[in-house]
């Protein structure tokens, strides 16, 4: 009886709003499965980035803080999975979870002193974190094999069951990305999510309402690290090879483009941005030497006309509709 | 016993003595106003009480507990909730969401309850949402509940800030110049809301420049000048207090009220 009452009070529009993006993801995934392995690889990267960006969105979108060093946690995930699976014969899924735990602990330890900083200072400190991780992957050759990278990483699987083909792995990645967005959406629509949003809105006001700012920032940072780590591990299993460049600064810049283009602070924006930013260069390949120019021109165009990102446009539509209804 | 007890609170910024040995008590259910000319140390006193910075010396007791030097969120958790002179809204969120965040102090739950949504969590979410609507009705903003907070006119943003603070169910509400920048009508509306909060049983301390507002709703007034308490008493006593009149340059402001 009670559960019925709860479901009936839930506004139906919420269902609609999440049904549409899920259908869109299904269409994109189906398109990938009917195409060549090349397309599957591009889309696979896109959804791995979607996981990375959905995590980053906790810290940068919901909580309004800057992190330029999230690639460090992707590196922990990627190298951790590579080492545990190739050298120690771990199950990939267990390695993925174990490295997420390591990343979470590292994020908590590093974040505790670092997150006292604000704005540009926090950006600089986190940027340093990413650079340190990059240096470690290059210099600590006995652990990471340096520039040579790690090859022969097994595909995702559990208990002897292996996702042998690229397309099977792709499905697993898409499902994980959807779970990631689902978790993010649930966390945002809660007391916890509201506390994060209050920090983004005004730290003074959040504090005056009893929100422990340092604690919530740290939890958001740790959650972002868990997502980044999972994305790093998935990349290692999907490609089978990793090297330092993969988890370098370009990863950070790429993810920022995705976050802002898709709509920072929104539920589906990070995934939308990840897919567009990944697919666009491939779609423009026919333009040859004009490819980069066309790509950046489109990015700038979108950001000028949709400054809050593509997912932010839905808010505009909703706002535009209301006055019209008022007049009627 | 007094709900809030400020004892010899002193705050020094380098060579500047912003608060000098200020003492006063606030009883449960009271509406106290703190007034004084610009730079008298009113906001500093609020910051010391609410934990924004610790006093150089002296102590603050709230509800029988020593909260001297406690963190701002710790003070808020104890039930002492403040607003700011400059409106601090969560601008990107809707009016209703702003108030829902206010309930942080009186709700519970973290990451895991958000993820698994146990029954108590669903019930809590419902009551948070219903409570926010009620508070918006209380301050007269129910029609704007789903608007983004930054689209509200300034006077209504002030009311929203008060509603948000009320969502934390404060035992003591500190309002820092809530009428600053408001026109006469908006001030009237605000005065009426503050009176109703007080009638509802919430203890209120009000810093205010608007004398007509203070004289109308305050039960007791503490007057600061150059960081010191120069007078304390009922509005009628304060109006005729010679030191207060002197502090306000002949007291025209007070006599006009």
DSSP state string for B76-141: HHHTEEE--SS----TTSBHHHHHHHHGGGG----HHHHHH--HHHHHHHHHHHHHHHHHHHHHT-
**Chain B residues within 8 A (CB-CB) of chain A?**
50, 71-73, 76-77, 81-84, 88-93, 97, 100-105, 107-111, 113-115, 117, 119, 121-122, 124-126, 128, 148, 161, 164-165, 168
Closest CA to B248 of B226, B232, B217, B216: B226
Q: Å from A216 to nearest chain B CA?
A: 10
For residue B227, is it within any domain? yes
A5 pLDDT above the threshold of 80: no
Task: Report ipTM for this prediction.
Answer: 0.87
Q: What is the largest CA-CA distance in chain B?
A: 65
Q: Which residue of B has its CA nearest to A189?
A: B114
**CATH number for position B27:** 3.40.50.300
Q: Does residue A12 register a pLDDT over 50?
A: no
Tokens of B162: 């008060």
Which of helix, strand or coil describes residue A102? helix
How many A-B residue pairs are in contact by the CB < 8 A criterion? Answer: 106
Give B-chain residues touching A183 at CB under 8 angstroms.
115
**What residues contact residue B135 under an 8 Å CB cut-off, 6+ apart?**
B99, B102, B163, B166, B167
**A278 neighbors A42 (Cβ within 8 angstroms):** yes
Query: pLDDT 10s digit of each residue in chain B, 257 long?
Result: 799 999 999 999 988 999 999 999 999 999 999 998 888 899 999 999 999 999 999 999 999 999 998 999 999 999 999 999 888 999 889 999 999 999 999 999 889 989 988 999 999 999 999 999 999 999 999 999 999 999 999 989 999 999 999 999 999 999 999 998 889 999 999 999 999 999 999 999 999 887 888 988 999 999 999 899 998 999 988 888 888 888 875 545 555 54
In this predicted structure, the answer to whether residue A1 has a pLDDT above a threshold of 60 is: no
Q: Do A211 and B73 touch (CB under 8 A)?
A: yes
Kindly list the distances between the CA atom of residue A153 and the CA atoms of A92, A150, A248, in Å, as whole numbers in the listed order: 9, 7, 20
- Cα B78 to Cα B85: distance, rounded to the nearest angstrom: 22
Helices and strands (H and E) in chain A: how many: 15, 4
Residue A21 binned pLDDT confidence (cut-offs 50, 70, 90): confident
CA–CA distance, A269 with A263 (Å, rounded to integer):
4
Residue with tokens 């460090």: A72
With respect to residue B31, please indicate whether it lies within any of the assigned structural domains: yes
- Identify all chain B residues contacting A2, using CB atoms and an 8 Å cutoff: 119
DSSP state of A17: H
What is the average pLDDT across A153-161?
77
Of A194, A202, A319, the CB nearest to B100: A194
**CA separation, residue A199 to residues A65, A222, B89, B223, B239 (Å):** 9, 16, 11, 34, 42
Contacts of A321 in chain B (CB under 8 A): none
Which residue, among B38, B42, B35, has the nearest Cα to B239 in the 3D structure?
A: B35
Supply A224's token pair: 């972002």
Decide if A209 and B107 are in contact by the 8 Å CB cutoff: no
Out of A191, A197, A198, the one facing B109 most closely (by C-beta) is A191
In a domain, B65, yes or no: yes
Q: What is the CA radius of gyration of chain A?
A: 20
Cβ contact, residue pair A208, B72, below 8 Å? yes
Say how many domains are in chain B. 1
B165 within domain boundaries = no
Q: Confirm whether B73 is domain-assigned.
A: yes
Q: Is residue B137 a part of any domain in this protein?
A: no
Write out chain A residues lying below 8 Å of B110, CB-based.
191-192, 219
Is pLDDT at A328 greater than 80 in this prediction?
Answer: no
CB distance B88–A208 less than 8 Å?
yes
Chain B neighbors of A311, CB-CB under 8 A? none
Could you write out the DSSP letters of every residue in B226-250? TTEEEEEE-HHHHHH-HHHHHHTGG
pLDDT of residue A190: 93
Residue found under tokens 């700011």: B84
CB contact under 8 A, B90 and A186: no
SS3 B6: strand
Render pLDDT for A126-145 as a digit per residue (tens, 0 to 9).
888 988 988 888 888 787 88
Are A67 and A224 in contact by the 8 Å Cβ rule? The answer is: yes
In a domain, B144, yes or no: no
Q: Tell me what pLDDT residue B173 has.
A: 96
Among the partner-chain residues A193, A198, A208, the one whose CB lies closest to the CB of B114 is A193
Mutate to test the interface with A, among B46, B77, B101, B116 (most CBs of A within 10 A): B101
CB contact under 8 A, A198 and B101: yes
State the pLDDT at residue A7: 34
> Smallest CA–CA separation between B127 and chain A, in Å?
12
Say how far residue B119 (Cα) sits from the centre of its chain: 34
Strand, coil or helix: B256: helix
Chain centroid, CA A222 distance in Å: 13
pLDDT at A16: 64
CB A158 within 8 A of CB A93: yes
Q: Which of B149, B165, B93, B45 is nearest to A205 (CA)?
A: B165
Split at pLDDT 50, 70, 90, the class of A41 is very high
Q: Residue A9: pLDDT above 70? A: no
Residues of chain B positioned with their CB less than 8 A from the CB of A207? 72-73, 76
- Tens of pLDDT, residues B84-129: 988 899 988 999 999 999 999 999 988 998 998 899 999 999 999 9
Instruction: Give A297-325 pLDDT, tens digit per residue.
Output: 888 888 888 878 888 777 666 655 554 44
The answer to whether residue B129 sits within a structural domain is no
Going by their DSSP bridges, the two strands B172-176 and B203-207 should be labelled as parallel
Show the CA angle centred on residue B41, arms to residues B39 and B47, nearest 5°: 130
- Please indicate whether, in this complex, the C-beta atoms of A202 and B89 are within 8 angstroms of each other: yes
Question: Which residues in chain A are closer than 8 Å to B105, comparing Cβ atoms?
Answer: 209-210
pLDDT in tens, A258-290: 999 999 999 999 999 999 999 888 888 888 788
pLDDT of A40 higher than 70: yes
Using the beta-carbon criterion (under 8 Å), do A210 and B109 form an inter-chain contact? Answer: no
Residue in the block written with tokens 């950046």: A296
Those residues with Cβ within 8 angstroms of residue A104's Cβ, 6 or more apart along the chain or in another chain:
A222, A225, A226, A229
Domain with B241 in it: 4-79+170-256
Q: Locate the DSSP E strands across A27-170.
A: 150-151, 157-158, 161-162
B62, B130 contact by CB (below 8 A): no
Q: Which of B43, B62, B73 has the most A C-beta neighbours within 10 Å, making it the best mutation to test the interface with A?
A: B73
Helix, strand, or coil here: B206? strand
pLDDT for the residue numbered B99: 96
Report the residue count for chain A. Answer: 328
DSSP string, B20-41: EEEEEEE-TT-EEEEE-STTSS
Q: Which of A186, A209, A213 sits opposite B105 (nearest CB)?
A: A209
CA distance to partner chain B, nearest, from residue A105 (Å): 16
**Whole-number pLDDT of residue B126:** 94
Give me the residue from A9, A205, A223 closest to B90, CB to CB. Answer: A205
Give residue A112's pLDDT: 92
């Amino acid at each position: 009886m009670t559960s019925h009452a709860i479901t009936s009070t839930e506004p139906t529009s919420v269902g609609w709003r999440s049904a549409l993006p899920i259908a869109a993801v299904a269409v994109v995934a189906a398109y990938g499965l009917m195409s060549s392995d090349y397309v599957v690889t591009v889309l696979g990267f896109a959804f791995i980035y979607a996981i990375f960006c959905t995590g980053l969105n906790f810290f940068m979108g919901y909580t309004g803080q800057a992190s330029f060093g999230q690639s460090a946690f992707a590196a922990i995930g990627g190298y951790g999975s590579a080492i545990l699976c190739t050298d120690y014969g771990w199950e990939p899924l267990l390695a993925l979870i174990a490295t997420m735990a390591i990343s979470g602990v590292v994020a908590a330890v590093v974040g505790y002193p670092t997150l006292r900083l604000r704005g540009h200072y926090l950006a600089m400190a986190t940027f340093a974190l990413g650079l340190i991780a990059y240096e470690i992957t290059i210099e600590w050759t006995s652990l990471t094999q340096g520039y040579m990278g790690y090859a022969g990483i097994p595909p995702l699987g559990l208990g002897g069951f292996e996702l042998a083909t690229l397309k099977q792995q792709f499905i697993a990645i898409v499902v994980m990305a959807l779970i990631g967005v689902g978790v993010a959406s649930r966390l945002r629509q809660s007391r916890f999510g509201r506390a994060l949003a209050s920090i983004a809105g005004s730290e003074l006001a959040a504090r005056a309402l009893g929100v422990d700012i340092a604690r919530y920032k740290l939890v958001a940072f740790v959650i972002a690290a868990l997502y980044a780590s999972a994305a790093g591990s998935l990349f290692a299993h999907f490609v089978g090879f990793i090297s330092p460049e993969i988890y370098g600064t370009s990863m950070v810049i790429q993810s920022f483009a995705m976050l802002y283009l898709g709509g920072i602070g929104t539920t589906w924006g990070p995934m939308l941005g990840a897919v567009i930013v990944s697919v666009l260069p491939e779609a423009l390949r026919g333009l040859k030497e004009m490819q980069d120019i066309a790509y950046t021109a489109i990015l700038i165009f979108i950001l000028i006309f949709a400054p809050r990102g593509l997912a932010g446009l839905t808010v505009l539509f909703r706002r535009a509709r209301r006055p019209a209804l008022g007049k009627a | 016993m007094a709900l809030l007890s400020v004892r010899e609170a002193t705050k020094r910024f380098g060579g500047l003595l912003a608060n000098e040995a200020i003492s006063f008590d606030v009883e449960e259910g009271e509406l106290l106003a703190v007034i004084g000319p610009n730079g008298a140390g009113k906001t500093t006193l609020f910051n010391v009480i609410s934990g924004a910075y610790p006093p150089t010396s002296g102590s603050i007791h709230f509800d029988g507990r020593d909260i001297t030097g406690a963190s701002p969120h710790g003070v808020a958790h104890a039930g002492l909730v403040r607003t700011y002179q400059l409106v601090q809204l969560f601008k990107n969120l809707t009016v209703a969401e702003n108030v829902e965040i206010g309930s942080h102090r009186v709700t519970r739950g973290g990451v895991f309850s958000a993820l698994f949504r146990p029954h108590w969590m669903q019930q809590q979410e419902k009551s948070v949402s219903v409570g926010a609507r009620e508070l918006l009705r209380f301050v007269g903003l129910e029609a704007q509940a789903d608007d983004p907070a930054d689209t509200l006119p300034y006077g209504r943003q002030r009311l929203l800030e008060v509603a948000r603070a009320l969502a934390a169910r404060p035992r003591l509400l500190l309002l820092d110049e809530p009428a600053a920048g408001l026109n006469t009508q908006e001030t009237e509306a605000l005065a009426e809301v503050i009176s109703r909060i007080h009638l509802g049983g919430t203890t209120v301390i009000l810093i205010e420049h608007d004398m007509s507002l203070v004289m109308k709703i305050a039960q007791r007034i503490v007057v600061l000048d150059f960081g010191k308490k120069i007078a304390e008493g009922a509005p009628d006593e304060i109006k005729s207090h010679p030191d207060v009149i002197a502090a306000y340059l002949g007291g025209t402001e007070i006599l006009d009220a």
